[in-house]
Amino acid sequence: KAGVTQTPRYLIKTRGQQVTLSCSPISGHRSVSWYQQTPGQGLQFLFEYFSETQRNKGNFPGRFSGRQFSNSRSEMNVSTLELGDSALYLCASAPEEALNTEAFFGQGTRLTVV
């Protein structure tokens, strides 16, 4: 079974631009979550989507948004990029029942804002 796939792996953007990151979950998984990891703040939860609906949301500004498609693939968008948005963005998928706290993470997208 293929793992969680995130594209692109690396991205360089200019301050003020917007960016879209993509995540394909493990086949059959309907929960997709996004996380931001920086050296200063660590791993922080952004939001979770389940069956095309945002089910949980972390404490991030409205510039961070996401969506999930009917095939469970998810995209995350960051508008008006700031230097502080430079981070590793991780996507994780979990089974529908989420019978435990096991989530499966992708390799991440390394975003650099210059």
Partner 1 sequence: LAKTTQPISMDSYEGQEVNITCSHNNIATNDYITWYQQFPSQGPRFIIQGYKTKVTNEVASLFIPADRKSSTLSLPRVSLSDTAVYYCLVGPYNQGGKLIFGQGTELSVKP
Per CB under 8 A, does 99 bind partner 1? yes
The two three-digit tokens of residue 21, written as one number: 């990151």
Per CB under 8 A, does 98 bind partner 1? yes
Computed over its alpha carbons, how large is the radius of gyration of the chain? 13
Binding-residue total with partner 1 (CB under 8 A): 31
Q: Which is nearer to partner 1, 45 or 60 (CB)?
A: 45
- Show contacts with partner 1 in window 8-47 (CB under 8 A): 31, 33, 35, 42-45
Among 19, 76, 106, 113, binds partner 1 (CB under 8 A): 106
Per CB under 8 A, does 108 bind partner 1? yes
| Backbone dihedral angles phi then psi of residue 100, each to the nearest 5 degrees | -150, -170
Give me the sheet containing 74-78, strands edge to edge. 5-7, 19-24, 74-78, 64-68
Whether the CB-CB separation of 7 and 91 falls below 8 Å is answered with no
Per CB under 8 A, does 60 bind partner 1? no
| Backbone dihedral angles phi then psi of residue 104, each to the nearest 5 degrees | -115, 120
The two three-digit tokens of residue 8, written as one number: 């692109």
Q: How many residues does the chain have?
A: 114
Contact footprint for partner 1 (CB under 8 A): 4, 31, 33, 35, 42-45, 48, 50, 55-56, 88, 90-92, 94-95, 97-108, 110
